[in-house]
Structure 1
């Protein structure tokens, strides 16, 4: 028996098996086209290649693009809120105690600007916000226009005190009403009917200033609920405008208290004027007002 030949065959066979195992590990087949037998592959298979990173836009870093998108969304939200507050519902910061106990200092009320937009007009008992220029304030405030614009934007969002020409009061008389203070029991009367004003601050008189006025058509007679701390129509008797507020100067009706959360509610309605008829008399008299702070 030729033992040398057998050893040679076994040695060759062992070498080929080793190369075959190496080829399977490296992903090549011995003798395959394009790869000489016995040559080890150096490239990774296509399925294992790392994916290419996405290209960034025109050389701008992704962080900058994210910031720009966020700024655009924020600006759009601010513009939407400003438009919404200008035409529909405006927050209004109550700066004084003149409407206590109904409204407290620091309350943010939501003023419904659509309440009087479609033919409706303010009614007795409504709490309204109005521009007092020409009635409560004789001249418009002047100042830096840029500062004024920023203040108006903040006020429109309820983040700053309202303009000095903006006021919040309760409607006591509308066009044609005769409003008198006071009857023998110390009550205000409207068209001859005593008004039981349960919203007035406890301990306050209905008014310490006597007056008798027929409200001109298209105007309102307004008073604060905290009568001893309210500068209202009584204080402007005898001045240009006579203390009444033109209806077209009304910004809207205060319908809700939106802040603080502990006072989140609607502004209470009143039935104090339910029995008041329309005034059919004529003529009017005015009394002199006195400062109320």
Structure 2
């Protein structure tokens, strides 16, 4: 009897070992097929979530499509914009989170334009201009020279390179200025009809900002569409991370063959 029990015990142990070996073999075989579909999906979702958080609240790329900020920014420049500085905007809401800085005169700023009635297909584009005045400031132009609180201001950064144009040009869109005009200042009374080079004085309302392009004669800016609400500000450009001659190159594939290597890494000021 003892011999039978011993044989039975050995047989049971062998069956158990065999089953354990099969189980281990299945586990090892499963591991050899790599991560499961769900694990891959989680990795993709995590990557997308990180990208959206960074793009929404921290840093976003922005392309310069026009020459309104020449020579500070050129057509074909690609910028990294710091969205945290002035307070990131929560998409699809009217909520702006607090930032660690406030826009100051002289800053280059990315913002959502006030409503532009002359372009119904895209009435509120995202733009980049220079902030030249804040709430409470008095601004005007005479002979193409911009004045801030009675003091003449240079035309942006390296402005002597900017082309000149028709400063006597007038446009019906300039008439938005009329309710904000003031009389009796050092600039004299506002002109009957504002022009590109001669307008104001205007007082910037509280909570509003006034933007101009560095390239004044090729810039559709605050002279046309008015003051920008502070909550429309979206960020501060930091540096140029890529640039190519998008407007003046005669080479094929200029984004690869006509790169402005010397601009890459330029700090924007």
What TM-score results when the alignment is normalised by the length of structure 1? 0.55
Question: Does residue 1:188 correspond to 2:158, yes or no?
Answer: no
CA distance in 2, matches of 1:67, 1:167: 42
Q: How much has 1:216 moved relative to structure 2?
A: 1.1
Match of 1:234 in 2: 223
Tell me which residue corresponds to 1:265: 265
Q: Name the count of aligned residue pairs.
A: 190
Aligned mate of 2:135, from 170, 175, 181: 175
1:62 aligned residue (25, 30, 33): 33
Larger Rg: 1
Which 4+ residue blocks in structure 1 deviate beyond 6 angstroms? Answer: 57-61, 138-142
> How far did 1:201 drift?
6.8
For 1:62 and 1:140, the matched residues in 2 are separated by 55
CA distance in 1, matches of 2:40, 2:23: 28
1:250 paired to 2:238: no
Give the unaligned 5+ runs of structure 1: 1-50, 143-162, 237-242, 270-293
Instruction: Encode CA deviations 1:197-241: one digit per residue, 9 max, x unaligned.
Output: 2523724349821211211111111011222221111122xxxxx
The 1-side partners of 2:117 and 2:267 are apart by 26
Contact kept in structure 2, 1:91 and 1:108, CA below 8 Å? yes
The one of 18, 41, 45 equivalent to 1:75 is: 45
Aligned to 1:291: none
The 5 Å alignment of 1:87-102 reads: 87-102=57-72
Distance 1:187 1:76 in 2: 52
118 and 227 in structure 1: CA distance in 2 versus 1, 3 angstrom threshold: same
Structure 2 stretches lacking a partner, 5+ long: 1-21, 87-97, 168-195, 244-259
Root mean square deviation of aligned Cα: 3.6
SS of 1:255's partner is strand
